[in-house]
Amino acid sequence: MGDGKRSPVGLGEAPVLAGDNGDSGDDGHSGDYREQLAEELERALEGLGAHAGGVFLLHPAEHLLKLTVLVGIPREIAAPWELVNPATAMPTADPVRTGDLVWVNGHEAWMRQYPRIAVATPYDYTLAAVPVIGTHGTLGSVFALWRGTLPSRIPPKLETGMWQLAADLARTLESRERTRAVQSVDPAGAVERTAGDRPGHHERGPLVHPAGPSPPPGTAEAAEHMVARLPEGVCALDIDGRVTSVTPSAARLLGAPAEHLIGARPWEVAPWLRDALYDPYRAAVVSGRPTSESGLRPPDQWLNFAVYPGASGLTVRISEAPGNGADAVPGAEPIPAARDNEPPLTHAGVLYHVLHLASALTEAIGVEDVVNTVADDILPAYGSRALAILTAESGRVRLMGHRGYSPEVVARYDDSLWRSSEPGARSVALGHPMFFESMAELDQAFPARAGVHDGMGAWAFLPLIASGRTIGTCILAYAGPHRFTAGERAVLTSLGGLIAQALDRARLYDKKLEIAHALQERLLPHTLPVVSGLEAATRYLPGTEGMDIGGDFYDLVRVRRDAVIAVIGDVQGHNVTAAALMGQIRTAVHAYATADARPSGILAGTNRLLADLDAGLFASCACLSLDLGKRVACAASAGHPRILVRTPDGAVRTLDASTGLLLGIEAEAHYSQTVFPMPDGTTFALYTDGLVESPGTDIDEGVAGLAIRLEQAGALSLEALADILVSHARTARQRADDIALLLLRSGRPP
């Protein structure tokens, strides 16, 4: 992200704006309000030196961001992101949620910040996006694209320009709303305001403009534009991939009459171009850079394609590859002509779409994550209204997750018999998907369930097959009748396989996690001993990576009526092995604390045991003994972060206990201990490194920050203090490590 930022606002605060129903514009001229947004965006992109951009508007009723205006990129390429959930991590959604500017400078930055999009668009380009904020809330976001990799920090000129563009768009939208509000007062011109009247809610999709003036297709002007880009026989495409001009030599090489090519996508006229031309065209549009590819024209002619993007479209140079002829590539098989009259499915386009969805599913960990990913990333992209993922267990249906269905429908599915008369069960039995474009089609195929409706109008039943096993079915439902095109059926079929693999993996993960958590709950103390004159509080937060289970541990052992041993430690690793070893260390601490209450002796004995176990893992540990009667404390450490102590006067310092080797490295390691006074009201903070470490932050800075919070809030009760000390970690999206915290406060025994 760049430095630019505006105060984030609630998503629910976005005003309701009328328009987008094809009526007259605000100025009395016939037209679409999106045209005005597109004109403003085009002017701004030219001034910013960007080659493409777009505007997303927030639709509060559906809680979605909708792509309303698109400049310089065809809708087909942007289709996977045409509808975006504002809560997802997307470069056009993050500005709406946070109020920040998003800056992604080149392919490496895409891989770090938004890997899903990087997989679907593996090109070198830069993006900036900012929220469009009106008087009463966030209206949406606007983004711009530049060719190649720009500096790691957005240049001030571009940052200022993006915020100015957002402000201009907000004024345009709110001006239109005020005009519409005035017009609605006039009974003669009153218009009922519905969800369909709001900007961002349009069934016909975004308004798509080229990044510059596009000449009329098939004209001399278009040919001049084409020839101006390259001096040889070529064809020209608009941003949507349609031919606007073609030379006779290009038509001859493609094997299609010029009149058939004009206004059509080349790969629709000549199916063999699906692999040879579509991918370089797509790459050039997104990246803004020239691309090239070779392709075999049936039966044996190899051609070279070079694609050059520009503001008004693209120029394609087509030339014969050297050594053309039947023997150009030994063993090459002729490519058969298309046998179907239906426009061919663009293989590369489907591949990129599936890659995007696959990338999203690979980030899903548990079953709930899989359901949320499908609901957040797939339902909006395909216009589905509801989702249900079902599995079969012992002849009964188990509902793994759902979205968009009413509780009554959900109750009908869950724990019901797995009947072959149901379309979901039939799809599983047959092993292939079933598509029903209307209620009539479904009732005709399954007359036994006629009249049993779930409130939807079209359905896709996708069998979930993983490793040759059918594990369930995924139901995608649509609000009304829906035509499933060949391309959509192909993608949804592929998607069913991806969901199945992700779900199978997630179920295994959830089962392992359930076992691991049960193990960890048994290993960590459920309660701490009650000791007169001592107050104690603990917190434990698992990490959000790996198995969500680690080796962080703590304990409080009562050795006499007025004396305790406190211990905290961290076994390396985040797995069941680390958790099991942590349990063994706790057992050893209990045993050695009973026999020898000195911290140095406890660490030495535990270290010998760990070395004898030869577990291949090491552990840090801090041990603190408190003698409440003598008001004396004693501490020793085995490579663990230093204990913090807050004295009754409010000062905070680290205990100067010398640090020995980590446990498990050297069996005969020696550990020294430090004795110091403990007046009544002394507070001790024992913690693991997860509380003070974060990527890019020095651990000393983290300890200093913890000391400041302890100093400021140390007078509170230990329970309240514990909440404050871990508050920043609770709200973090990612925690790379576990966190354990043990707070102790001494007081005079009664």
CATH of the domain at 411: 3.30.450.40
Average pLDDT over residues 18-33: 41
Confidence band for 580, pLDDT divided at 50, 70 and 90: confident
Is 318 contained in some domain? yes
Residue 350 has pLDDT above 70, yes or no: no
Q: For the segment 29-52, what is each residue's pLDDT rounded down to a tens digit?
A: 334 678 899 999 999 999 999 999
Res 3: pLDDT: 45
Domain boundary among 186, 209, 232: 209
How many angstroms separate the CA atoms of 232 and 250, rounded?
A: 10
How many angstroms separate the CA atoms of 642 and 640, rounded?
A: 6
**pTM beyond cutoff 0.85:** no
Of the candidates 25, 6, 281, the one whose C-alpha atom is nearest the C-alpha of residue 159 is: 6
**555 pairs with which residues across the strands?**
567
| Same-domain pairing of 631 and 565 | yes
| Same-domain pairing of 481 and 562 | no
Residue 460 has pLDDT above 80, yes or no: yes
Lowest mean pLDDT among 76-80, 152-156, 476-480: 76-80
Which runs of E-coded beta strand occur in 396-457?
396-403, 434-436
Residue 58: strand, helix, or coil = strand
3-state secondary structure 17-31: CCCCCCCECCCCCEC
| Same-domain pairing of 199 and 180 | yes
Residue 7 has pLDDT above 80, yes or no: no
Average pLDDT over residues 639-663: 90
Lowest mean pLDDT among 155-164, 264-273, 549-558: 549-558
Res 6: pLDDT: 45
Residue 363: strand, helix, or coil = coil
Average pLDDT over residues 223-237: 68
Would you say how long the chain is, in residues?
750
Determine contact, residues 346/241, Cβ cutoff 8 Å: no
Of the candidates 148, 156, 68, the one whose C-alpha atom is nearest the C-alpha of residue 110 is: 148
How many angstroms separate the CA atoms of 227 and 204, rounded?
A: 34
Confidence band for 346, pLDDT divided at 50, 70 and 90: very low
Instruction: Identify the H or E element spanning 154.
Output: none
Res 548: pLDDT: 53
Taking CB atoms within 8 Å and a gap of at least 24, the contacts of 177-186 are 177/15, 177/17, 177/18, 179/26, 180/17, 180/18, 180/19, 180/26, 184/18
Tokens matching residue 498? 């991806």
Res 210: pLDDT: 65
Is 344 contained in some domain? no
Q: For the segment 368-402, what is each residue's pLDDT rounded down to a tens digit?
A: 888 888 888 777 777 788 988 888 777 677 888 88
How many angstroms separate the CA atoms of 168 and 36, rounded?
A: 11
**Residue with the larger pLDDT of the pair 485 and 257:** 257
Res 155: pLDDT: 94
Is 335 contained in some domain? no
Residue 5: strand, helix, or coil = strand
| Same-domain pairing of 595 and 638 | yes
Lowest mean pLDDT among 14-23, 138-147, 513-522, 633-642: 14-23
Determine contact, residues 118/140, Cβ cutoff 8 Å: no
| Same-domain pairing of 185 and 285 | no
Lowest mean pLDDT among 90-99, 235-244, 589-598: 589-598
Largest Cα–Cα separation, the chain: 103
Res 195: pLDDT: 31
| Same-domain pairing of 540 and 509 | no
How many angstroms separate the CA atoms of 229 and 232, rounded?
A: 9
Res 633: pLDDT: 94
Res 151: pLDDT: 92
Res 743: pLDDT: 96
| Same-domain pairing of 182 and 245 | no
Residue 188 has pLDDT above 60, yes or no: no
| Same-domain pairing of 161 and 109 | yes
| Same-domain pairing of 379 and 491 | yes
Of the candidates 424, 52, 349, 28, the one whose C-alpha atom is nearest the C-alpha of residue 206 is: 52
How many angstroms separate the CA atoms of 119 and 116, rounded?
A: 5
Q: Which residues contact 599 (CB under 8 A, 6 or more apart)?
A: 565, 623, 624, 625, 634, 635, 636, 671, 673
**626 pairs with which residues across the strands?**
564, 633
Q: What percent of the chain has pLDDT over 70?
A: 78
Q: For the segment 254-295, what is each residue's pLDDT rounded down to a tens digit?
A: 888 889 999 999 988 988 888 788 888 988 898 888 988 888
Confidence band for 341, pLDDT divided at 50, 70 and 90: very low
Average pLDDT over residues 642-661: 89
Is 160 contained in some domain? yes
| Same-domain pairing of 188 and 237 | no
Is 386 contained in some domain? yes
Lowest mean pLDDT among 77-91, 342-356, 454-468: 342-356
Tokens matching residue 347? 């293989």
Residue 16 has pLDDT above 50, yes or no: no
**Residue with the larger pLDDT of the pair 187 and 601:** 601
Is 1 contained in some domain? no
∠ Cα 482 484 485 (to 5°): 135
Q: Which residues contact 494 (CB under 8 A, 6 or more apart)?
A: 350, 354
Res 99: pLDDT: 92
Res 140: pLDDT: 95
| Same-domain pairing of 597 and 624 | yes
Res 603: pLDDT: 93
| Total count of domains within the chain | 4
| Distance set, CA 357 to CA 116, 376, 461 (Å) | 8, 11, 18
Which of 181-195, 264-278, 478-492 has the largest mean confidence? 264-278
CATH of the domain at 698: 3.60.40.10
> Which residues form the domain of 553?
525-746
| Same-domain pairing of 83 and 200 | yes
Domain boundary among 209, 235, 265: 209
Domain boundary among 515, 544, 571: 515
Single-letter residue type at 524 = L
Confidence band for 724, pLDDT divided at 50, 70 and 90: very high
Residue 124 has pLDDT above 80, yes or no: yes
Q: For the segment 427-442, what is each residue's pLDDT rounded down to a tens digit?
A: 777 777 889 998 888 8
Res 735: pLDDT: 58
Is 4 contained in some domain? no
Residue 724: strand, helix, or coil = helix
Of the candidates 584, 591, 581, the one whose C-alpha atom is nearest the C-alpha of residue 618 is: 581
Dihedral-angle region of residue 117 (phi above 0 means left; psi in -120 to 50 means alpha; beta otherwise)? alpha
How many angstroms separate the CA atoms of 249 and 235, rounded?
A: 9
Q: For the segment 288-313, what is each residue's pLDDT rounded down to a tens digit?
A: 889 888 888 888 888 889 999 988 89
How many angstroms separate the CA atoms of 697 and 706, rounded?
A: 13
Looking up tokens 């200022």, which residue turns up?
A: 160
Determine contact, residues 240/73, Cβ cutoff 8 Å: no
Res 506: pLDDT: 81
**295 pairs with which residues across the strands?**
303
Residue 378: strand, helix, or coil = helix
Res 419: pLDDT: 63
Is 382 contained in some domain? yes
Distance separating the N- and C-terminal Cα atoms of the chain: 57
Residue 332 has pLDDT above 50, yes or no: no
Determine contact, residues 54/286, Cβ cutoff 8 Å: no
Supply the mean pLDDT for the chain.
79
Residue 658: strand, helix, or coil = coil
Q: Which residues contact 140 (CB under 8 A, 6 or more apart)?
A: 14, 55, 56, 57, 58, 65, 68, 96, 131, 132, 200
Burial class (CB in 10 A: 0-12, 13-18, 19+), 158: buried
Of the candidates 478, 508, 505, the one whose C-alpha atom is nearest the C-alpha of residue 378 is: 478
Res 185: pLDDT: 41
CATH of the domain at 234: 3.30.450.20
Res 390: pLDDT: 85
